[in-house]
Structure 1
């Protein structure tokens, strides 16, 4: 089971690595958009920190929270991701 959690966590972190490389911040309510981005980015950094410590549960939690901020930001029209990545989000 631990191996499954580790693999899933790495997979999610790899996907979010791609998202952060291609995500664009729109001008709509720029400061709030930047706040959302900062929170997502900080949680993503935390996920990689926990992954390095082999704390897979906390790493997974942090990457999911990061994803949630990006997802909410897309829904609020703060962020844009390429069409091929939109299927990973609820917006």
Structure 2
């Protein structure tokens, strides 16, 4: 589980700085993503790999949904990690 958690935390770490608001309505969702990412990192450092994995997946899920709704943008080279 440690490797899976690390992979997901690293994935979020890679895309989060590139995730941009396309619509101000997404501001609160972006804050949620950032909070879940902080949680994921915290859990990982504590050795709580299941919780770290889950928090990182929540980041990806919110980001993916926001991309589908048009409230976020992401560079084309990162779109392959989402379902858009």
TM-score range, shorter chain: over 0.9
TM-score by length of 2: 0.94
Per-residue deviation, 1:43: 0.6
Are 1:69 and 2:69 matched, yes or no?
Answer: no
**Which runs of 5 or more residues in structure 2 are unaligned?**
none
TM-score by length of 1: 0.87
User: How big is the alpha-carbon RMSD for the aligned residues of Structure 1 and Structure 2?
Assistant: 0.9
4+ long deviations beyond 2 Å? none
Q: Which has the larger radius of gyration?
A: 1
**Which runs of 5 or more residues in structure 1 are unaligned?**
none
Aligned to 2:83: 90
Per-residue deviation, 1:8: 1.4
Are 1:24 and 2:20 matched, yes or no?
Answer: yes
**CA distance, structure 2, for counterparts of residue 15 and residue 53 of structure 1:** 19
